[in-house]
């Protein structure tokens, strides 16, 4: 009884010591976080978490909403990321299981016959004594528990948990990128289709102008050089059409694959021209510190720091002794010939200790490796944060430039429309020829094409802003937030 009491008290003392995890290493990385953005537009509405989670709905385009829903359900990159999350969670269970005792069932059965040799006098020939054949059976339970006195097993489990959390963040990285790709390709497709409509109208204007010049040439009012110049302009304009057509098909093929389908599966659905979304989502106005919580690539980088710090602590724990408790219990049975079987219960209790004495520097090399790994991922975390700040600043700059260009082209298109109206009015009064009307219309269409490109760029720049802030995943499914 005293032995049991002593063993229990030793066990409790070791567990109390183990709870301190003396080999733990801090995973905190100090970052210099700016107080505000240098290029963010002023007087913008503050975005809510819902705006970031479902930012694409701010465009008010049912087709875009439907495409993104299909991509979230069937994209292959997302499916791969989800499988990696499941794999990492299973590995976490394996690591955590090392903290608990293992209990195994054992059994053995067979026939046994003993042959003993007796030597009555040294040097004399022995005499064999044959024991009868017996049926033998043993069975029971065996338990083994390595006490985590210095926290090595606990830290290994924490590293596995951090790595599992990292796969979840990697899944969110894929999702954020997927949503941005779908939205960008869709908006660019609508912009290309708008430009194609303008180009077809411009081609008709060029053809009409060529017919007029050919009529003037027959009347002797213009030279053949004027006709040849217009033919050149018409064919140059028409040469843009196959480029736009192929670009539109390429975008449709990309969208189809992003949605987990064959490249041509969306051609019938998306081939007909539709306008760009009229409504625009609000510009996120968040602080740089919010990027730490929202961007999944930053959260992923921090889980790598946490895992590396835990692995370093686990490597240091290998310098200390390991304590093991073991216990087994069961019964054995012996039956000889036709005699009744003999059975007895057996048990065993034990405690063991192992400590490193000589290992040719293996443990210290593991510690050095883990320490270098921690320095590596900590530097990568800092770099990833700086890149995130750069993405946001560049996205703000790009959006501001796109908006300014769009506004200037709106004014230019208005002026070109007014010029065309005046030319048409002068032509009706006989104050100008029809070529003036066609030239004004061609200028208006060229300006409209530039504006279509600018309108597309404004919308794509908004997508870039939301991608820079890590928009596109649900806060409800977030893991613990990394410290700043």
Question: In this structure, what DSSP letter does residue 295 have?
Answer: -
CB 112 within 8 A of CB 133: yes
**In whole angstroms, how far apart are CA 385 and each of 22, 34, 289, 378, 473?**
31, 11, 10, 11, 19
Look up the pTM and report it.
0.83
Average pLDDT over residues 463-473: 92
Q: Where do we find the tokens 């009064």?
A: 429
Q: According to the model, what pLDDT value does residue 480 have?
A: 39
pLDDT digits (tens, 9 = 90+) for 97-123: 888 888 888 777 666 665 555 555 565
CB 443 within 8 A of CB 415: no
Q: According to the model, what pLDDT value does residue 401 have?
A: 95
Segment 446-452 long-range contacts (CB within 8 Å, at least 24 positions apart): 446/202, 447/409, 447/412, 447/413, 447/416, 448/198, 448/413, 448/416, 449/195, 449/198, 449/199, 449/202, 450/409, 450/412, 451/406, 451/409, 451/410, 451/412, 451/413, 452/191, 452/194, 452/195, 452/198, 452/276
Q: What average pLDDT is seen over the chain?
A: 83
pLDDT at 5 over 50: no
pLDDT digits (tens, 9 = 90+) for 335-345: 555 555 556 77
Question: In this structure, what DSSP letter does residue 244 have?
Answer: H
Q: According to the model, what pLDDT value does residue 454 have?
A: 96
Average pLDDT over residues 467-475: 84
pLDDT digits (tens, 9 = 90+) for 448-462: 999 999 999 999 999
CB 69 within 8 A of CB 260: no
More confident residue, 230 or 45: 230
> Residue 260 — left, alpha, or beta (φ > 0 → left; ψ -120 to 50 → alpha)?
left
Q: According to the model, what pLDDT value does residue 4 have?
A: 44
pLDDT digits (tens, 9 = 90+) for 53-80: 889 999 999 999 999 999 999 999 999 9
Pick the closest to residue 50 from 481, 462, 472, 391 (CA basis). Answer: 472
More confident residue, 385 or 346: 385
**Widest distance between CA atoms in the chain:** 147
pLDDT digits (tens, 9 = 90+) for 233-269: 889 989 999 999 999 999 999 999 999 999 999 999 9
Q: According to the model, what pLDDT value does residue 341 have?
A: 54
Q: According to the model, what pLDDT value does residue 477 have?
A: 45
Domains of the chain (ranges plus CATH)? 17-99+149-320+362-477 (1.20.1600.10), 102-119+127-147+321-354 (2.20.200)
């Amino acid at each position: 009884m005293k032995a049991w009491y002593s063993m229990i008290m030793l066990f409790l003392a070791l567990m109390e010591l183990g709870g301190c995890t003396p080999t733990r290493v801090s995973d905190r990385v100090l970052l210099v976080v700016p107080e505000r953005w240098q290029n963010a537009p002023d007087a913008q509405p503050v975005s809510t978490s819902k705006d970031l989670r479902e930012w694409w709905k701010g465009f008010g385009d049912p087709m875009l909403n439907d495409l993104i829903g299909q991509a979230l359900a069937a994209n292959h990159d997302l499916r791969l990321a989800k499988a990696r999350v499941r794999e990492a969670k299973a590995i976490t269970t394996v690591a955590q299981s090392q903290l608990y005792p293992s209990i195994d069932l054992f059994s053995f059965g067979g026939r046994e016959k003993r042959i003993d040799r007796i030597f009555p006098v040294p040097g004399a020939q022995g005499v064999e004594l044959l024991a009868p054949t017996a049926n033998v059976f043993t069975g029971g339970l065996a338990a083994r528990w390595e006490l985590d006195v210095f926290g090595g097993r606990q830290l290994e489990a924490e590293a596995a948990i951090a790595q599992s959390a990292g796969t979840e963040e990697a899944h969110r990285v894929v999702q954020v990128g997927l949503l941005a790709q779908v939205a960008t390709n869709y908006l660019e497709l609508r912009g290309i289709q708008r430009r194609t409509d303008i180009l077809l109208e411009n081609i008709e204007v060029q053809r009409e102008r060529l017919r007029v010049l050919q009529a003037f040439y027959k009347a002797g009012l213009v030279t053949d050089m004027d006709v040849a110049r217009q033919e050149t302009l018409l064919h140059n304009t028409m040469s843009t059409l196959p480029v736009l057509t192929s670009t539109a098909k390429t975008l449709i093929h990309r969208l189809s694959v992003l949605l987990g389908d064959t490249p041509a599966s969306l051609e019938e659905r998306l081939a007909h021209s539709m306008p760009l979304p009229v409504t625009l989502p609000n510009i996120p106005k968040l602080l740089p510190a919010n990027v730490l919580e929202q961007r999944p690539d930053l959260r992923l980088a921090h889980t790598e720091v946490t895992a590396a710090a835990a692995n370093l602590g686990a490597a240091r724990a290998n310098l200390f002794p390991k304590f093991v408790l073991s216990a087994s219990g069961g019964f054995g049975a012996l039956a000889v010939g036709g005699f009744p079987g003999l059975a007895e219960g057996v048990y065993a209790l034990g405690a063991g200790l192992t400590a490193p004495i000589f290992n040719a520097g293996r443990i210290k090399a593991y510690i050095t490796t883990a320490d270098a790994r921690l320095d590596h991922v900590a530097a990568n975390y800092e770099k990833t944060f700086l890149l995130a700040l750069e993405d946001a600043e560049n996205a703000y700059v790009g959006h501001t430039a796109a908006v300014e260009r769009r506004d200037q082209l709106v004014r230019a298109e208005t002026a070109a429309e007014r010029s065309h109206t005046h030319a048409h009015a002068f032509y009706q009064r006989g104050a100008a020829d029809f070529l003036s009307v066609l030239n004004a219309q061609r200028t208006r269409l060229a300006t409209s094409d530039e504006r279509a490109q600018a309108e597309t760029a404004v919308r794509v720049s908004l997508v870039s802003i939301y991608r820079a802030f890590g928009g596109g995943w649900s806060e409800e499914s977030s893991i613990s937030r990394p410290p700043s």
